[in-house]
Amino acid sequence: MSDSQLRSGRPNACEVCESLDGVGDVSRREFVRSIGAAVAAATAVPLLGGSRAFAAAGETGPSPSSPAETAVARFYKTLKGDQRKLICFPFDHPLRSKVQNNWAIVKPQIKDMSKEQQALCREIFKNLCSEDGYERFMRQMEDDYDGFESYHVAVFGEPGSDKPFEWVLSGRHDTLRADGNSVAGAAFGGPIFYGHAADGHFNEDPKHTNNVWWYQGERANKIFATLDDKQRARALVAKADPDSPRAARLLGDKLGDAGMPVGELDSQQKSMVEDLVKDMLRPFRAADSQEVFACLREAGGIDKLRLTYFKEGDIGNDGVWDMWKVEGPAFAWYFHGSPHVHTWLNVASRAPQT
């Protein structure tokens, strides 16, 4: 497909969102309401003090009895014969842990399933989101992939049993998961991706008009505005990280010294970083938000994070940074907002041993 085709209408792929190694070919409102009290409560505990305010990562987060996971179990029971051959895999299958910006984890789409199965997939997905987040994802999916029913889902393991399992949704600008905490110490059940090309535009304007995720970029740039000259010099680097799953690797003690250490910011700035993480979690259900904060606590807290902004990809050359990253030993959240928004996310209670 040519660049001109990719930039017109609703592309099935894009130059940055190329289809990568999927099993099948990729075939085919704004701020609606404030986040519910449950998510607010999940993220209200401050991360700045030394007390152990959160439960251990293995003691919080979703469970097999959470609403999304019980719907996964019901969905799994409806799958028979050829359907199971096409979309069901052992829990340890390598596809389960894969993340990409645009891919079909299996060839069938949700719209190829029965009406009951389609409704169950929507129920699963809705229960993975906050109310606000569900509205945002619905807008994003309509712009990027002709709607929710065009996405693809796969099931790993045996939902509804005492064995581990995971449900994975993939498609353009989304890799999302429901695992009932089957993957110990990993928020969201593993790395995820979300993005948006607003109104189908490949190249967004400097204000990212109608992009459902740009409010996160606005929050990050407010922090940059509070930095003094020396802090800005540390926080701002020339070349951006690759727009790929590698950007979400957990580096542990190999994190390096690029960016501004959050531990060296003043208390007000630290609070703003904490608010940034909360805002970035707004689209997701309370249980996953709780697990992110529990993992962050176990990995040393907010003081262990680094905040990096990238000169590369500055749309409009306006000094409003479209690409930035929040990173820690076991925390990687990369907002790659040029030419439109891609976001890579990986959070664990500890970095893998290297």
**Contact predicate 132/31, CB 8 Å:** yes
Instruction: List, for residues 36-63, the tens digit of each pLDDT value.
Output: 333 333 333 333 322 223 334 456 899 9
Query: Could you state, in order of their start, the residue ranges of all structural domains in the chain?
Result: 3-35+64-182
Neighbours of 84 (CB within 10 A): 12
Report how far residue 179's alpha carbon sits from residue 169's, in angstroms, rounded to the nearest whole number.
12
Sign of the CA dihedral with 221 first, then 201, 175, and 60 last: positive
Flag the least confident range among 13-17, 70-74, 184-188: 13-17
Give the per-residue pLDDT at 60: 83
Residue 267 reports pLDDT greater than 80: yes
Sign of the CA dihedral with 300 first, then 44, 227, and 236 last: positive
**Contact predicate 185/295, CB 8 Å:** yes
Residue 210 reports pLDDT greater than 50: yes
Entry field: residues in the chain: 354
What are the start-end ranges of the E strands in 225-350?
236-237, 260-261, 306-310, 323-328, 331-336, 341-347
Give the per-residue pLDDT at 352: 77
Report how far residue 305's alpha carbon sits from residue 262's, in angstroms, rounded to the nearest whole number.
6
Give the per-residue pLDDT at 354: 60
**Contact predicate 192/177, CB 8 Å:** yes
Residue 208 reports pLDDT greater than 90: yes
Q: Is 210 exposed, middle or buried (0-12, 13-18, 19+ CB in 10 A)?
A: middle
Instruction: List, for residues 172-185, the tens digit of each pLDDT value.
Output: 999 999 999 999 89
Q: What is the mean pLDDT of residues 104-126?
A: 98
Residue 349 reports pLDDT greater than 90: yes
Residue 12 reports pLDDT greater than 50: no
Q: What is the mean pLDDT of residues 101-118?
A: 98
